[in-house]
Amino acid sequence: MPISSYKPNPCLLEKQIILITGAGDGIGRNVAKTYASFGATVLLMGRTVSKLEKVYDEIISENHPEPAIIPLDLGNLEMVTLTELSDNITANYGRLDSLLHNAGVIGQKTPVEYSDTEEWERVMQINFSGAVLLTRSLLPLLQRSSSASLVFTSSAVGRTPRAYWGAYCVSKYAIEGFALLLADELENTSTIRVNIVNPGATRTKMRATAYPNEDPLTLKTPEELMNLYLYLVDPNNKENGQTFNG
């Protein structure tokens, strides 16, 4: 079914527990508010607490289910933090219905030969390794859902390389590989479906950093992507191992 004709029920996500990384800004912020408006309890994960608090306040002011704030820097993850996180979610919610890996950084745009190795590592850690570690620790909670959705965010440069996009490009290739590996691994052993979203050029801070000379008004807004993001976590959606483009 084309996403343009998808009409989500206003109660679509009632009683769903959904964790969104990078929920304080850009696309993630819009997704968090949209999922809450369709009834989900959203777990707002990100590194800048003040941004998460703002999203929390906006959700509460609209009388949607009370979200949770989970401060976490994906660039600086420790196993003990991940264990605590999964213990806390288990204690408070008992399961996880969806996990949207959305957080990301653009890093340096420069020839590989001149790239800064520490910056390269940082981008790989946030965009790839952090998402892998988080997935590993939360898989048991997703297994407890009757219809779980695991979504990874890629980019056009995760499928076709673009010169000078360095670690960002490689991290998106890597996350696509991981997503497809998991989709295959979980296909016959669980009800978890694993898909990839490529939002495409969208009016956010990341896009403005990547293309400083571009007029942001020529780009689609995060709001315009929300039907797609709802479809990705729709419990009736059974698609697995697919890529969805915004």
Nearer to ligand NDP, 47 or 109 (CB): 47
In angstroms, give the least distance from the CB of 15 to ligand NDP: 26
Buried b / exposed e across 199-233, counting CB within 10 Å, b at 16+? bebbbbebbeebeeeeeeeebeebeebbbbbbbbb
Question: Which residue ranges make up the site for ligand NDP (CB under 6 A)?
Answer: 21-22, 24-28, 46-48, 51, 72-75, 102-105, 126, 153, 155, 198-202, 204-207
Active site residue 168: yes
Name the closest residue to ligand NDP (Cβ). Answer: 26
Q: Pick between residue 9 and residue 110 the one whose CB is nearest to ligand NDP.
A: 110
Q: Which of 168, 211, 229, 231 is catalytic?
A: 168
What is the side-by-side strand order in the sheet with 68-71?
Answer: 68-71, 41-46, 17-21, 98-101, 149-153, 193-198, 243-245
- Separation of alpha carbons 126 and 135, rounded Å: 13
Q: How far is the CB of 91 from ligand NDP (least distance, A)?
A: 23
- Residues 123, 107: contact at Cβ < 8 Å? yes
Q: Which is nearer to ligand NDP, 74 or 180 (CB)?
A: 74
Cβ 146 to ligand NDP shortest distance, Å: 28
- Give the closest residue to 23 by CA, choosing from 89, 86, 69: 69
> Considering beta carbons, is residue 12 or 77 the nearer one to ligand NDP?
77
Residue positions annotated with a catalytic role:
168
